[in-house]
């Protein structure tokens, strides 16, 4: 089997078990719902990164600012030389989002725990409720990398272009417009359901196996290339708020080595609320049209 | 005895809906004192979370059985103690 394009960005549960006390490694659990995950038990020496509080701007809709990133790293005792190992709840979606965000701010050595919480618990490895305390570190302000992120005008510009590919990684029901937003996520609702015209639907979970580890590279290549998502194109991934699509962004960028992949984190919660943007919804009646 | 409410976590999280534990919390919150909730899952992470959360909120795990690669776990919401 061929190896992933960048195998260094993944660590196994075995590797991590041997590096729990490694001072060069900082283990971060990135949770959407810390009370249901980190708060009940986490990997020894892992610190919590609360997705809502720590990775997002608290007021406007945006990822954390450069200054907020620096503050977060310093609070976690992270320097630019620290190896960050990320894992988290919801099958590593939010860990992948944090990976993407930290990469935007240029942190060099970031790795994802292959299989995440699910595999760690499945293997009955040690878990604790103890919250570690790290000495504050100094982290110089980095420059942000812009090519990893796409915004609504940029997505609109690539519609219909054959040198670009759009992947909608939501479930088929969301892609078709049968459902828009689960009721428990009212602040992620959209006025319209459906998908961005030209997008192919490759649900994020098709990239992983039963134990949440990533599929072998040959299977991943087949999965995406058979749907026209090829490395010669500039690829944009999206979902509802950009976290599932960060997972697919990670797969395409680091496991398959695609050179130009951006995550559109505005995703459907932005596109589906925007005025005047085109929406594809198979089977939808167009007002004013005459039924056949 | 009333049949317990049933919750299968098999498809939790696929549509970026509520987390598995969020679904358990919601279903448990709808129980009247003395009522039971049957949760079925094949994921060890879920089981750990349910047990730990149940201890915290004073719930009782009254039954736990492994069946064909999945675990059936029954929680009971205790009746308020007389003071």
A75-113 pLDDT, tens digit each: 999 999 999 999 999 899 999 999 999 999 999 999 999
Q: Which residues of B touch A205 (CB under 8 A)?
A: 14
Q: Which residues of A touch B50 (CB under 8 A)?
A: none
Q: Which residues of A touch B20 (CB under 8 A)?
A: 36
Alpha carbon distance A81, A107 (integer Å): 8
Of A180, A172, A161, A234, the C-alpha closest to A200 is A172
Residue of chain A whose alpha carbon sits nearest to that of B48? A121
Q: Which residues of B touch A40 (CB under 8 A)?
A: 21, 48-49, 52-53, 56
Alpha carbon distance A104, B62 (integer Å): 48
pTM score = 0.93
Nearest CB neighbour to A89, from listed B15, B19, B56: B19
Alpha carbon distance B24, B7 (integer Å): 8
Tokens 């992948």 label which residue? A96
Predicted complex ipTM exceeds 0.90: no
Per annotation, catalytic residue among A239, A252, A255, A261: A239
Alpha carbon distance A46, A131 (integer Å): 8
Q: Do B15 and A174 touch (CB under 8 A)?
A: yes
In this prediction, residue A284 carries a pLDDT of 73
Q: Do A182 and B15 touch (CB under 8 A)?
A: yes
Tokens for A255?
A: 């496991």
What is the DSSP code string of A268-291? HHHHTTSTT---B-TTPPPTTPPP
Q: Do B14 and A32 touch (CB under 8 A)?
A: no
Nearest CB neighbour to A244, from listed B16, B49, B56: B16
Q: Say if B25 is an interface residue toward chain A (CB within 8 Å).
A: yes
Exposure letters A72-102 (e unless 16+ CB within 10 A, then b): bbeebbbeeebbbbbbbbbbbbbbbbbbbbb
Q: Which residues of B touch A244 (CB under 8 A)?
A: 16
Residue of chain B whose alpha carbon sits nearest to that of A124? B44
Q: What are the pLDDT tens digits along chain B (83 aa)?
A: 567 789 998 755 556 677 889 889 999 999 999 999 999 999 999 999 999 999 999 888 999 999 888 999 999 998 876 55
- CA dist list (Å): A108 to A83, A97, A100, A203: 8, 16, 12, 29
How far, rounded to the nearest angstrom, does the alpha carbon of residue A242 sit from its chain's CA centroid? 6
* Mean residue pLDDT across chain A: 94
CB-based burial label for A223 (10 Å; 0-12, 13-18, 19+): middle
CB A111 within 8 A of CB A7: no
Q: Do B16 and A37 touch (CB under 8 A)?
A: no
Handedness of CA A170, A172, A176, A178 (dihedral sign): negative
Nearest CB neighbour to A36, from listed B15, B21, B44: B21
Residue of chain B whose alpha carbon sits nearest to that of A92? B13
Give the three-state DSSP class for A48.
strand
In this prediction, residue B16 carries a pLDDT of 66
Ranges of residues in chain A with a pLDDT under 50 are 291-292
Residue of chain A whose alpha carbon sits nearest to that of B12? A90
Length of chain B: 83
Give the alpha-carbon dihedral of A79, A85, A89, A94, to 10 degrees. Answer: 60
């Amino acid at each position: 089997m061929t190896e992933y394009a960048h195998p260094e960005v993944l660590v196994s549960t075995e590797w991590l078990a041997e590096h729990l006390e490694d001072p060069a490694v900082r283990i971060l659990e990135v949770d959407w719902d810390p009370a249901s995950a980190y708060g009940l038990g986490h990997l020894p020496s892992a610190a919590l990164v609360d997705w809502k509080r720590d990775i997002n701007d608290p007021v406007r809709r945006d990822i954390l600012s450069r200054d907020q990133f620096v503050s977060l790293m310093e609070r976690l005792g992270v320097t630019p030389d620290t190896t960050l190992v990320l894992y988290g709840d919801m099958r590593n979606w939010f860990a992948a989002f944090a990976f993407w965000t930290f990469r935007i701010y240029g942190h060099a050595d970031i790795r994802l725990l292959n299989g995440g919480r699910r595999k760690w618990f499945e293997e009955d490895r040690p878990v604790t409720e103890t919250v570690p305390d790290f000495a504050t570190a100094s982290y110089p302000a980095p420059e942000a990398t812009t090519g990893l992120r796409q915004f609504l005008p940029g997505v609109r510009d690539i519609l219909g272009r054959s040198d670009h590919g759009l992947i909608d990684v939501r479930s088929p029901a969301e892609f078709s417009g049968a459902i828009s937003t689960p009721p428990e996520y009212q602040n992620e609702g959209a006025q319209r359901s459906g998908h961005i015209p030209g997008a192919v639907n490759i649900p994020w979970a098709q990239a992983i196996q039963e134990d949440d580890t990533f599929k072998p590279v040959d299977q991943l290549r087949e999965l995406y290339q058979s749907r026209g998502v090829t490395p010669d194109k500039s690829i944009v991934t999206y979902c509802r708020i950009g976290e599932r699509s960060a997972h697919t962004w990670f797969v395409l960028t680091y496991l398959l080595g695609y050179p130009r992949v951006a995550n559109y984190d505005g995703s459907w919660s932005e596109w589906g609320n925007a005025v005047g943007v085109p929406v594809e919804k198979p089977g939808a009646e167009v007002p004013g049209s005459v039924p056949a | 005895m009333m049949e317990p409410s049933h919750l299968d976590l098999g498809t939790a999280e696929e549509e970026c809906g509520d987390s598995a534990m969020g679904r358990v919390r919601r279903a448990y919150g709808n129980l009247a004192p003395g009522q039971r909730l049957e949760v079925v899952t094949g994921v060890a992470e879920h089981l750990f979370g349910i047990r730990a959360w149940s201890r915290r909120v004073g719930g009782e795990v009254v039954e736990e059985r492994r069946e064909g690669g999945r675990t059936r776990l029954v929680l009971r919401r205790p009746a308020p103690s007389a003071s």
